[in-house]
Amino acid sequence: MSKRLPLIAGAAVAVLVAGYFGLSAYSSSQAEKLIEDWVYDHELEDTLSWKSVSSSPFGGRVTISELQVEAGGREPSLQVAEVIISDRSINDERTRLRLRFNGVEADNRALGGLSSLGAMAGGGFSRGMASARGFEPALISGLAELKPYDVEIYVDIDDDAGTLETELAVDLPELFDSRVSYRLSNLRDLNRKLQRLSESLGGDERGQRAFMNELGELASSVERAELQSASFSVKDRGMAERSIALYQRYNTPLNPTEGSAEKQRKAHYEKVVEQTEKDCSREFKDLPKGMKDGCELLSKALLGKVSGVELTVEPKERVRLTDLGDLQDGRRSKRLLDRLDPQLDSI
């Protein structure tokens, strides 16, 4: 099965949700009835619960209040103060949808799903914390617990244009804000394929075979896709300052005869960062033009002199998703990076 299917996971979620709300303007009671039917059809009565459902007068916005997800056993639990479904445009050719989750609270197991995102923002700070409980970037930066956070997903699938645009935003109070977005083209009938896939979920053995067939067609379609643009950004909201202070406090060899402990910690940390920049420049000396200042930017980030970084990609020539595997090939990666034309900047 295609390794690139995760790139359209957000699109699949959007189509699944959109399929139960359609184009009509629903009253609050109608919207709640649709959700109840969906929960019943998928045997999720013991997993999902909520306090109330409201809808805007013209049905353009549906709000679910105090959503709770409890799978039981060893599965993670999740609470969301508010789920907002908006910006809806749904038909056979197109699905556009925005999902916003405000005030997300998760137990320690559910937070494990954010670890990879935290690693991108926290760099090497996660080493040695494999046995720690909770969300590692929070713990390592001195935050005792993760406060309720917000997540937003936007998806626009257009079969007429053969494109998919998607954005994911995660805002973690006192840690960082992160944004990921990309646009894919050369996707034939992706919206229709995802709709058929959602319709074939569950059911008997025949339905399961239909689901696998649809999944295979979807994988083939994604393999032909081309990358039009992409961006990734991380903006600090307190994690860097706390992490720097903790590193200085617990990783500085102090000498009582050399004066102020604070000055010693600062000087030692600056030397560590300076060496890190040198090592980075040595290891990544052949970076593309738009990333030539990457090691210097890393140094500034480690010193807290920039609040965030953003990586943008707009290929100068055609780049298929299958080409991205060349990034793991030392001989071919340079040519692919030149095509991708990545730009790294502070924000």
- Write the DSSP assignment of 266-322 as a string of letters: HHHHHHHHHHHHHHHHHHTTT--GGGTTHHHHHHHHHTT-SSEEEEEE--SS--BGG
Report the number of distinct structural domains present in the chain: 2
> In this structure, are 54 and 156 located in the same domain?
yes
| Candidate from 132-136, 146-150, 254-258, 310-314 with smallest mean pLDDT | 132-136
Q: Which domain holds residue 192?
A: 5-106+146-235
How much is the pLDDT for 16?
Answer: 58
How much is the pLDDT for 13?
Answer: 62
Tokens matching residue 313: 């990609």
Is the predicted pLDDT of residue 85 greater than 50, yes or no? yes
> In this structure, are 45 and 176 located in the same domain?
yes
The H-or-E segment that residue 212 falls in is: helix 205-223
pLDDT, tens digit (0-9, with 9 covering 90-100), for 248-300:
998 999 999 988 999 999 999 999 999 999 999 999 888 888 999 999 999 99
Q: Is residue 243 part of a domain?
A: no
Pairing state between β 149-158 and 48-49: unpaired
Q: Is residue 120 part of a domain?
A: no
Q: Is residue 112 part of a domain?
A: no
Q: Pick from 186, 209, 235: which residue ends a domain?
A: 235
Q: Tell me whether residue 125 is exposed, middle or buried, using C-beta atoms within 10 angstroms of its C-beta: 0 to 12, 13 to 18, 19 or more.
A: buried
Is the predicted pLDDT of residue 34 greater than 70, yes or no? yes
Q: Is residue 217 part of a domain?
A: yes
Q: How many CA atoms lie within 13 A of 225 on its CB side?
A: 31
Q: Pick from 235, 266, 286: which residue ends a domain?
A: 235
Model pTM score: 0.80
pLDDT, tens digit (0-9, with 9 covering 90-100), for 97-140:
899 999 999 765 555 544 444 443 333 333 333 333 345 565 56
> In this structure, are 203 and 276 located in the same domain?
no
| Per-residue confidence band for 218, with pLDDT thresholds at 50, 70 and 90 | confident
> In this structure, are 207 and 263 located in the same domain?
no
Inter-residue contact 155 to 166 (CB < 8 Å): yes
How much is the pLDDT for 287?
Answer: 84
